[in-house]
With several copies, the nearest count.
Chain A
Amino acid sequence: MARVVVDVMPKPEILDPQGQAVANALPRLGFDGVTAVRQGKHFELEVADDVDDATLAKIAETFLANPVIEDWTVRRVEA
């Protein structure tokens, strides 16, 4: 069993209203010094050992992310 993390983020040129809403709210709540926020998705997968990196990339690219608007990263982590 391996543990895989996939992070999916809106592309830099795409509007990210969620991240912006967070960035705008922080000063109101008394937190200063956060100059930019972007919000995306974080997936944690448990995968069988025989699933290779190419398959993981394919899962991220064709399914977990929409490459029209999103970038993604895949990394294996220690279980």
Chain B
Amino acid sequence: MRVGVITFPGSLDDVDAQRAVRYADGEAVPLWHGDHDLKGVDAVVVPGGFSYGDYLRCGAIARFAPVMQEVIEAANKGMPVLGICNGFQILAEAHLLPGALTRNHKLHFVCRDQWLAVENNTTAWTTRYDRNAEILVPLKSGEGGYQADEDTLKELEDNGRVVFRYVGDNPNGSRNNIAGITNARGNVVGLMPHPEHAIDALTGPTDDGLGMFLSLLDTVVKA
């Protein structure tokens, strides 16, 4: 399994995403924002961080990077793509996922260990979890509030496209406590919390996040 991990100027959790891929026995392939091809990878992770400083809006500049045009094309053809935190924001800006991420309702950056309910275990990235399993992973973001109009929310809810939901008090003002969603096809998943920081209880709260990368392994092997 070869998994591309994109590095934009200002990406931060790219090393962590690469490590998570390795922990799942995959090969992590670094992709550069200026690349015009995906080096034949089986899947792509768009990692967390502050691409281009996130100065205008999170992900607003990164979405236009050359490598993203390749990702958009591949995703539309069914390649598994995971956007974590800033990666989720980029995928939303790139219209691979609906909605937008806005400033946390309490206006502070929030770093905390967060319980999530896995509500959809049929996406390319979540097959290893039981449906409605609860997992504990870090959440760390300043603009993690998920917003979408009523129609979009209904569409997401009605079709099981809410993949992760916050358990307990809402950390950032997300509509419907949404922590992560998928596209209609189930190959593109974006979430604000950081599964790649929960792959080893030594450096994370748990190893609950590893399941996402192992799920991908199954998806890729099956494909």
Contact = CB atoms under 8 A, between A and B. Distances in A.
Interface of A: 10, 13-15, 17-18, 21-22, 25, 28-29, 39, 63-64, 66, 68-69
Given A63-B56, A68-B99, A69-B100, A18 B107 contact: yes
Given A10-B102, A15-B145, 9 more contacts: A15-B102, A15-B147, A15-B173, A21-B52, A21-B61, A22-B55, A29-B64, A64-B56, A68-B148
A69 B105 CA distance: 15
A21 B104 CA distance: 12
B52 A25 contact: yes
Nearest to A67: B100
B53 interface: yes
B41 interface: no
B32 to A, nearest CB: 15
A64 B147 CA distance: 18
B61 A25 contact: yes
A64 B53 CA distance: 15
B99 A18 contact: no
A63 to B, nearest CB: 7
Contact of B107 (A21, A64, A69): A21
Nearest to A30: B64
A68 B55 contact: no
A66 B143 CA distance: 14
A28 B70 CA distance: 16
A49 B99 CA distance: 36
Contacts of B64: 25, 28-29
B52 A15 contact: no
Q: Which 8 A-B residue pairs are closest in the complex by CB-CB distance?
A: A21-B55, A18-B55, A68-B100, A69-B100, A25-B61, A17-B105, A29-B64, A21-B53
Contacts of B102: 10, 14-15, 69
14 contacts: A13-B149, A15-B173, A17-B53, A17-B107, A18-B107, A21-B52, A21-B56, A22-B55, A25-B61, A25-B64, A28-B64, A29-B64, A66-B57, A66-B60
Chain B CB within 10 Å — which of A15, A22, A39, A66 has the most?
Answer: A66
B140 interface: no
Given A17-B103, A18-B103, A66 B53 contact: no
Contacts of A63: 56, 60
Interface string B139-174: 000000101110000000000000000000000010
A14 B99 CA distance: 12
Contacts of B60: 63, 66
A59 to B, nearest CB: 11
Nearest to B102: A69
B100 A18 contact: no
Contacts of A69: 100, 102, 147
